[in-house]
Structure formats: C-alpha cells, structure tokens
Amino acid sequence: MYIFFICLAALIGGYLIYWVVAGRIFGAEPDRPNPVTTMEDGVDFVAMPVWRVFLIQAIEYCRWRPRLFFRYVLHSSERGVLIPCP
C-alpha cells in the first residue's frame, strides 16, 4: 500500500513539474482564445464540461491498459497466451 501512495505522489509531482516547465518553455498565454471558441463547428471542436473530459481520459486508460501491459504471443499450437511485458 505504501508503494501505491509513493507512486501516486510521484505521478502528481511529475505532472506539476511538467506543467511548470512546459509553461515556461512554450509560454502559456491566458488571454489567448481557445480554439473551441474560435473554430467551433460542432464536430471537431466542441466545448465539453471538465467532468466529461476526465471521464473520456479514464475510459481511454481502461481501454489501453491491457494492451500496454500484456502482449499476445502465438505458440505452435496457435493458441494465444497473454504474457506480461518486461
């Protein structure tokens, strides 16, 4: 359980450090209009509530997680076996 909290703290700390460094390198402009407001077309650029954005990210994580941690190996008997990636 300690490892979980250490990893969670490292993830949050890395996100905050990356946020500061990327802001300094690329120069965020808070007054610049967002593309969703300037180019809204109802298909590609659609304004969404924050909770929906995080829900979509969580769904994508759950969808790709098994593919990232396991690889599908075919044996001579043509039966697929999931083996954890090193």
Q: Is 71 helix (H, G, I), strand (E, B) or coil?
A: strand
Q: Taking Cα atoms as reference points, which of 53, 37, 57 lies closest to residue 45? A: 37
Amino acid 61: pLDDT: 73
Predicted confidence at residue 69, as pLDDT, reads 53
Averaged pLDDT in 10-residue chunks for the chain of 86 residues? 89 89 83 86 85 84 60 50 49
Q: Specify the pLDDT at position 30.
A: 81
* Residue 66 confidence (pLDDT): 56
